[in-house]
Amino acid sequence: MDDTDFDIFAGDRAVATVQPMLRITNVARRFAATPAVQDVSLTVEPGQVTCLLGPSGCGKSTTLRMIAGIEQLDLGTIHIDGNLVADHKNSLPPEKRSVGMVFQDLALFPHMTIAENIAFGIPKARRKSADIGQMLDRVGLAGYGDKYPHQLSGGEQQRVALARALATGPKVMLLDEPFSSLDQRLRSEMREFALDLLREAGAAVVLVTHDPDEAMMMADRIAIMEQGRVLQEGAPLDLYNHPVNLAVAQFFSYLNLWSGRVDDGFVETPIGRLPAIGFADGAAVTCAIRPEHMRLEPVDGGGAIVRVSRVQSLGRESVVDVSSLDGAQKLRCNIAGPVGFQVDERVSVGYAPDSVMIFPDQDQR
Ligand SMILES: Nc1ncnc2c1ncn2[C@@H]1O[C@H](COP(=O)(O)OP(=O)(O)OP(=O)(O)O)[C@@H](O)[C@H]1O
């Protein structure tokens, strides 16, 4: 190992430092003219889930494939448990890296029983002694060992894929959109199930997704990627509440946006003057507020007066679209629970002051 585990003593308080199980340093990969991954660095601790989140083609899967050992690195290094497993010259084969993988298509072997599928990943020397029954039990499939994949539901097959990936006790687990083929109810059930199982296994987990809700729900850390680069990495709520730029902010939800210029420390918007702290007078900026941070009140609420243009009741929340009285500006407000507002009704619009995000205009896409 080229890193060390140690405790730092701060006064009489011991602060444990955990060595990253996975360390990716400045990795890059190019395909002809396409720089698929550029200068990506990440660390993942044992038992921690890091999500790579980003739009199609941003380099998530290529990053995952480099960690797995099925894609070469052009630059940078990858360490697992302190050992160098890949750089631009050398690459340890996947089976020698202690990584488990679950991909979207699961890739269960149709002609093998469930027990055989799980045993397949275990090295021959250890296969006989492996307790497949116990592994099936662990994923809630006791008694399924003699069945074939086509006899199982989508969720059950997902559990088999997880069991197979975990069967070797990997130090790093790589999941590439593993839940995207499941229906919504099963997907959220499987996310919770997989999360418990993965935390119990103590592996460092890298999960690829383009679904911000999935990332928010499952991740300890999220790395938002765009065009091969990590735009921001951090705890989910930090990214949600303090995005470094408009592109990161827009990943998580629809935004109400207004462009304007800073005048005497404020920006004039249809919902009032918003404070632009830290911006010079005259700066062109974009102000953003998430719909769930908007409030709607009867017209004597004190805020700007707008007209309700649409109400969608989704049960646990209502999506209310409003527009300025001249119709020029539109706003979206997500209000918890049902609302009594009618289309064309005049209402007063407010917002949580600390939810206003202001970005310099060069960030706007
Ligand atoms: N083997 C390859 N040959 C050429 N180009 C590739 C190859 N693999 C990936 N790319 C390109 O590299 C870029 C990143 O691809 P990658 O699959 O990593 O993106 P992604 O974020 O995982 O996308 P998706 O969410 O659609 O799976 C894309 O432009 C893709 O077309």
DSSP 103-124: ETT----TTS-HHHHHHHTS-H
**How sure is the predictor about 57, in pLDDT bands with cuts at 50, 70 and 90?**
very high
* 79 falls within a domain: yes
Residue 4 has a pLDDT of 42
Residue 249 has a pLDDT of 94
Cα distance from N-terminal residue to C-terminal residue, the chain: 44
pLDDT for 99-156, tens place per residue? 988 887 667 888 989 988 888 877 776 666 567 887 788 778 888 889 998 998 877 8
Domain limit, last residue, from 213, 245, 277:
245
- What three-state secondary structure class fits 208? strand
CATH number of the CATH domain containing 339: 2.40.50.140
Half-sphere exposure in the Cβ direction for 285 (13 Å, CA): 24
What order do you get walking across the sheet with 357-360 strand by strand? 256-261, 284-289, 357-360
Residues 100/171, Cβ–Cβ less than 8 Å: no
Residues 105 and 217 in one domain: yes
Percent of the chain with pLDDT over 90: 54
Residue 10 has a pLDDT of 46
Secondary element (H or E) of residue 224: strand 221-226
**How sure is the predictor about 301, in pLDDT bands with cuts at 50, 70 and 90?**
low
Mean pLDDT of the chain: 87
**How sure is the predictor about 9, in pLDDT bands with cuts at 50, 70 and 90?**
very low
Task: Pick the residue whose CA is nearest to atom 13 on ligand 1.
Answer: 36
* 309 falls within a domain: yes
Distance of alpha carbon 105 from alpha carbon 62, whole angstroms:
17
CATH number of the CATH domain containing 120: 3.40.50.300
Residues 72 and 199 in one domain: yes
pLDDT for 162-194, tens place per residue? 888 888 889 999 999 888 777 777 778 878 888
Half-sphere exposure in the Cβ direction for 302 (13 Å, CA): 3
Residue 361 has a pLDDT of 87
Domain count, the chain: 2
Residues 130 and 230 in one domain: yes
Domain limit, last residue, from 187, 216, 245:
245
Atom of ligand 1 nearest to the CA of 225: 21
Is residue 203's pLDDT more than 70? yes
Domain of 92 in residue numbering reads as 18-245
Percent of the chain with pLDDT over 70: 91
Sequence-distant (6+) residues with CB within 8 A of 155 are: 182, 186, 189, 190
| SS3 labels along 285-326 | EEEEECHHHEEEECHHHCCEEEEEEEEEECCCEEEEEEEECC
Residue 76 has a pLDDT of 97
Atom of ligand 1 nearest to the CA of 54: 21
Residues 82 and 205 in one domain: yes
Residues 44/173, Cβ–Cβ less than 8 Å: no
Distance of alpha carbon 40 from alpha carbon 140, whole angstroms:
37
Is residue 261's pLDDT more than 50? yes
Residue 15 has a pLDDT of 52
Q: State the CB neighbour count (10 A cutoff) for residue 22.
A: 26
ipTM of the shown complex: 0.97
What is the CA(276)–ligand 1 centre distance, in A? 39
pTM: 0.84
Half-sphere exposure in the Cβ direction for 191 (13 Å, CA): 24
Residues 267/276, Cβ–Cβ less than 8 Å: yes
**In a mutational test of the pocket of ligand 1, which residue from 29, 31, 104, 230 has the highest number of ligand atoms less than 8 Å from its CB?**
31
Residue 11 has a pLDDT of 47
Atom of ligand 1 nearest to the CA of 59: 18
Distance of alpha carbon 35 from alpha carbon 229, whole angstroms:
10
Residues 294 and 330 in one domain: yes
Residue 18 has a pLDDT of 67
pLDDT for 215-225, tens place per residue? 999 999 999 99
Q: Give mean pLDDT, residues 85-112.
A: 87
Phi, psi of 53 (to 5 degrees): -120, 135
What is the CA(59)–ligand 1 centre distance, in A? 6
Distance of alpha carbon 345 from alpha carbon 306, whole angstroms:
8
Task: Pick the residue whose CA is nearest to atom 8 on ligand 1.
Answer: 62
Residues with CB under 6 A from ligand 1: 31, 34, 36, 54, 56-62, 210
Is residue 7's pLDDT more than 50? no
More confident residue, 94 or 167: 94
Distance of alpha carbon 158 from alpha carbon 258, whole angstroms:
44
119: exposed, middle or buried (C-beta count within 10 Å: 0-12, 13-18, 19+)?
buried
